[in-house]
Amino acid sequence: MNSLSGLVKGKHHALLSPYPGLPATVVATAWGRRLELDDPADPRIARFLDVCRAGPQSVEKGAPCAGGVGKPLL
């Protein structure tokens, strides 16, 4: 979690939260896209966040993320 927290801490349009039952150690999701990885240090995670965070593919570009369930870590 520590290696991942640096990727989302202090950044808008991203959250980090453990979720049981996922198909891989790390699953990044954004607007119909999903990246499944077993290594939290994989550089593709940062690239995925850069490309997908509030990108042109988002349904409501620039809109805040609200109404989630559970308690995000960051």
How far is 38 from 23, CA to CA, in rounded Å?
Answer: 9
Per-residue pLDDT, 53: 76
In contact, 59 and 5? CB cutoff 8 Å = no
Band the pLDDT of 68: cuts 50, 70, 90: low
Domains of the chain, by residue range, sit at: 2-17+26-52
pLDDT tens digit string along 10-67? 777 777 788 889 999 999 988 788 999 999 999 999 998 888 876 777 666 666 666 6
How far is 62 from 55, CA to CA, in rounded Å?
Answer: 8
**What is the model's pTM?**
0.68
Per-residue pLDDT, 26: 92
The sign of the CA dihedral 34, 40, 42, 44 is positive
